[in-house]
Amino acid sequence: MHLHKYEKIWLVFGIGSLIVFLLILGYGAFWQGTHPQSHGATIDPNNIESHEAFQPENLGLTKVEEDKYIVNIVASAFNYNLGVHEEGAPVRKIRIPKGSTVLFQVTTPDVVHGFNVAGTNVNMMVEPGYISSLETVLDNPGEYTIVCNEYCGVGHHMMYATVEVYE
């Protein structure tokens, strides 16, 4: 079979790109730990409080044991509900000691939102009817902004909260 010179160039380019893409995918999956959820957890979006994790008193940061935390969040237009302080003001910032294992569980009653703890590997899509969860270890001290990276309406850019990882 005779192949034209340009066909050979395109074949090499095409196969080469495929290999490069697979290497990038493999690097993300096996070295950086990027992966989809192991299973889908569902919830009634019209009655999220029927799930224990999203009852008002269980929102925000909860210490489970030494160095283990759970953070339950309800994302809605245009806010992340992390519970309330004792005096009634909404929690805008959670503080977690460095090296802790943290399980984030997020759901929404309205539209699709994003949940990205910028600068970490926590980056989830939050869809009505599902619980998005991800466990991670926060090793680097600093302030991280939780941002919504799915356009959800006019207040999309005002949707944020803060995670502080301290020594």
What residues line the site for ligand CUA (CB under 6 A)? 78, 113, 148, 150-152, 156, 159
Which CB, 103 or 111, lies closer to ligand CUA?
111
Which CB, 77 or 137, lies closer to ligand CUA?
77
* Least distance (Å) between residue 6 CB and ligand CUA: 46
- The DSSP code for 155 is T
SS3 of 77-108: CCEEECCECCCCCECCEEEEECCEEEEEEEEC
Query: How close are the terminal C-alpha atoms of the chain, in Å?
Result: 66
* Least distance (Å) between residue 128 CB and ligand CUA: 12
Which CB, 89 or 154, lies closer to ligand CUA?
154
* Least distance (Å) between residue 72 CB and ligand CUA: 17
Smallest Cα–Cα separation from 140: which of 106, 116, 117, 113?
117
